[in-house]
């Protein structure tokens, strides 16, 4: 079978915590 | 103080220590139940720690919090191979590159290659890294390798 990458994973992102520290 | 917990959380995230990051989010949530940043970080950390079941139950336990977890939920369902549920969940979501990518990956697993390839063709303008790999997989699997 052809290779399929989980590209959606790259859109699972942490929020910026800059203003919380 | 909560600022120190967020600093520690941020450090773990930068080091890709996702289990540790999830633990710190629990510490934040004990001090500040319902903190949206902490909940968001918890869900993402659990997904990145490959704890998909725990990520989903966290999403389900935060129904009162006004965060839209639809994309994360659909992603978790996809990882659990609950493909119809995942698609259903995505339908309620506004369309963007992320939802389109996920939808195409779900359609690929469902064997709906033409629909899968259609989405990749729409995404071509958006310059997503490695998109052509999945696009080719869809074309090959649909017997359209010559394209
Ligand atoms: K795919």
Q: Which residues contact B144 (CB under 8 A, 6 or more apart)?
A: B113, B117
In whole angstroms, what is the distance from residue B73 CA to residue B80 CA?
Answer: 11
Task: Give distance in angstroms: CA of B18 to centre of ligand 1.
Answer: 26
Would the CB atoms of A3 and B40 count as touching at under 8 Å? no
Q: How confident is the model at residue A2 (pLDDT cuts 50, 70, 90)?
A: confident
- Domain locations in chain B? 2-110
Residue carrying the six token digits 């359209």: B144
Would the CB atoms of A15 and B40 count as touching at under 8 Å? yes
Q: Give the sign of the dihedral formed by CA B73, CA B78, CA B84, CA B88.
A: positive
To test the contact with chain A by mutation, choose from B102, B127, B129, B147 the residue with the greatest count of A C-beta atoms within 10 A, namely B102
Q: How confident is the model at residue A1 (pLDDT cuts 50, 70, 90)?
A: confident
CATH 1.10.3720.10 fits B2-110, yes or no: no
Task: State the 10-residue block means of pLDDT for chain B, 147 residues long.
Answer: 97 98 98 95 98 96 84 97 96 92 96 93 89 91 82
pLDDT of residue B120: 92
pLDDT of residue B62: 84
């Amino acid at each position: 079978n052809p290779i399929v990458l989980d590209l959606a994973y790259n859109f699972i992102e942490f929020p910026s915590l800059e203003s919380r520290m | 103080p909560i600022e120190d917990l967020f600093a520690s959380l941020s450090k773990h995230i930068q080091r890709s220590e996702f289990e540790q990051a999830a633990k710190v989010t629990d510490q934040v949530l004990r001090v500040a139940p319902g903190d949206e940043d902490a909940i968001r970080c918890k869900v993402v950390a659990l997904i990145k720690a490959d704890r998909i079941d725990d990520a989903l139950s966290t999403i389900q336990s935060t129904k009162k919090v006004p965060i839209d977890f639809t994309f994360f939920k659909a992603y978790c369902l996809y990882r659990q191979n609950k493909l119809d549920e995942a698609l259903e969940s995505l339908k309620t979501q506004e369309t963007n590159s992320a939802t389109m990518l996920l939808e195409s990956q779900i359609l690929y697993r469902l064997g709906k290659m033409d629909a899968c390839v259609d989405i990749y063709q729409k995404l071509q303008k958006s310059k997503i890294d490695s998109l052509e790999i999945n696009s080719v997989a869809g074309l090959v699997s649909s017997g359209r390798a010559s394209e």
